[in-house]
Structure 1
Amino acid sequence: MQDSPAITALLFGLRGCLIETDTSPTRPRPTPGALQTLAWLDELPAVDAEHLAAALPAWLKAHHVVTPWPAPDACWQALMALNTTKLEGCVLVSAEPRLLQSGLNAGLWTIGLASCGSRNTYDSPQEQERQRGKATLQLFALGVHSVIDHLEALGDCLADIRQRRLKGEKP
């Protein structure tokens, strides 16, 4: 039995992925399940990104965007800063469609977060489900490889990507 291919590197969006965006801007907090990550990307001005990222551990590497999304540069630069030796098996997780498009343009596997991000505000459980469904369809229409509701589901999604790679699928 052949081992499934390893995930080479994980990149995450900052807003709406690692940091909850529905909290007070003066007290950002990590999204549940977000602290087992490697690096994050955002196109906010450095001062704003650093304020949000203050809720994250200091060891978590930051990668600020120089070329605006959806250019692939930010993803490639983040992978180089992580000393990633190959693009194969690299994954980007985000709720931000422009960052996901950047990941697709860079040749990464992409996972969209349907229940996170600035586009999701809910007045009721029914509205939450409607928004989640709408976001899921929009993310798949963008071309992302998988969509999950929250970071707690990431492990199963990464296992699915490993199996897809084992079958020869490429991003």
Structure 2
Amino acid sequence: MHDAPAFTAVLFGLRGCLVQAADGPPLPAPGALDTLAGLRRQQVPCIWLDDLSGAQSKRLAAVLPDWLPGHSVNGVRWPAPNACWQALMSLATERLDGCVLVSGEPHLLQSGLNAGLWTIGLAACSPSCDLGSQQWQAMSQQEQDLARGKATLALFSLGVHSVIDHLEALDTCLADIAQRRRKGEKP
């Protein structure tokens, strides 16, 4: 079998995935800056997507590297695939093969699936595991683990290709998808 080409592009959800926007000021999510730097070293184009207004998205994205472009959805409602396609077009992506969407937001992941992308769900970033919420902070470790497990099952039942807890595990997950691609698997 021939080697699959490098990843064409990686799309990220902005809120919860790359940026934590709890009650305080926005902060990069754990592992976000290292993940983005690693993909940039590998020359994999990246972009974030969000359905917030342009001003809200820019405020959140201000904690991310200046080189990282973003795409605010203009009138397109997820799970329509248009937002993913528009983001890829803004990156001048030549093909869908090798494009990956990473998010904990089910509607955005469904958009990625509808667009024909590989999808990676972030269980710890899903709506039921809001790490910055007071409700989450009040949970015991066992309750948090149970919520993360339920989020994982919900993401897999949606049809995503892989589920990880957080961005720190993305390299391993991308290596797995690369192996699946080398075997001829398609999203």
Q: Normalising TM by the smaller chain, what interval?
A: over 0.9
Deviation at 1:23, TM superposition (A): 4.9
| Whole-angstrom CA distance in 2 between matches of 1:128 and 1:108 | 30
Q: Which runs of 5+ in 2 are unaligned?
A: 40-45, 131-135
| Whole-angstrom CA distance in 1 between matches of 2:174 and 2:54 | 30
Partner of 1:131: 147
Q: Secondary structure at the match of 1:119?
A: helix
Partner of 1:104: 113
TM-score by length of 1: 0.93
Find out whether 1:169 has 2:185 as its counterpart. Answer: yes
Partner of 2:86: 77
| Whole-angstrom CA distance in 2 between matches of 1:69 and 1:107 | 14
Work out which of the residue numbers 168, 171, 176 in structure 2 matches 1:152: 168
TM-score by length of 2: 0.86
Work out which of the residue numbers 95, 107, 118 in structure 1 matches 2:104: 95
Query: Which amino acid in the other structure matches residue 97 of structure 2?
Result: E
| Whole-angstrom CA distance in 1 between matches of 2:140 and 2:47 | 33
Find out whether 1:68 has 2:77 as its counterpart. Answer: yes
- Say if 2:126 and 2:151, in contact at 8 Å, map to a contact too: no
| Whole-angstrom CA distance in 2 between matches of 1:63 and 1:167 | 32
Higher helix share: 2
Work out which of the residue numbers 121, 124, 127 in structure 2 matches 1:115: 124
Partner of 1:45: 53
Q: Secondary structure at the match of 1:84?
A: coil
| Whole-angstrom CA distance in 1 between matches of 2:82 and 2:4 | 28
* Count of residues in correspondence between the two structures: 169
What fraction of aligned residue pairs are identical, expressed as a percent? 65
Q: Secondary structure at the match of 2:108?
A: helix
Q: Secondary structure at the match of 1:129?
A: helix
- Say if 1:28 and 1:55, in contact at 8 Å, map to a contact too: yes
Deviation at 1:3, TM superposition (A): 2.8
| Whole-angstrom CA distance in 2 between matches of 1:112 and 1:168 | 22
Q: Which runs of 5+ in 1 are unaligned?
A: none
- Say if 1:22 and 1:118, in contact at 8 Å, map to a contact too: no
- Say if 2:21 and 2:60, in contact at 8 Å, map to a contact too: no
Deviation at 1:21, TM superposition (A): 3.5
Q: What does the per-residue CA deviation read over 1:15-55, in whole Å, with 9 as the maximum and x for residues that have no partner?
A: 1100014351xx10001221216210000111111111111
Partner of 2:3: 3
| Whole-angstrom CA distance in 2 between matches of 1:132 and 1:4 | 32
| Whole-angstrom CA distance in 2 between matches of 1:165 and 1:100 | 19
Deviation at 1:58, TM superposition (A): 1.7
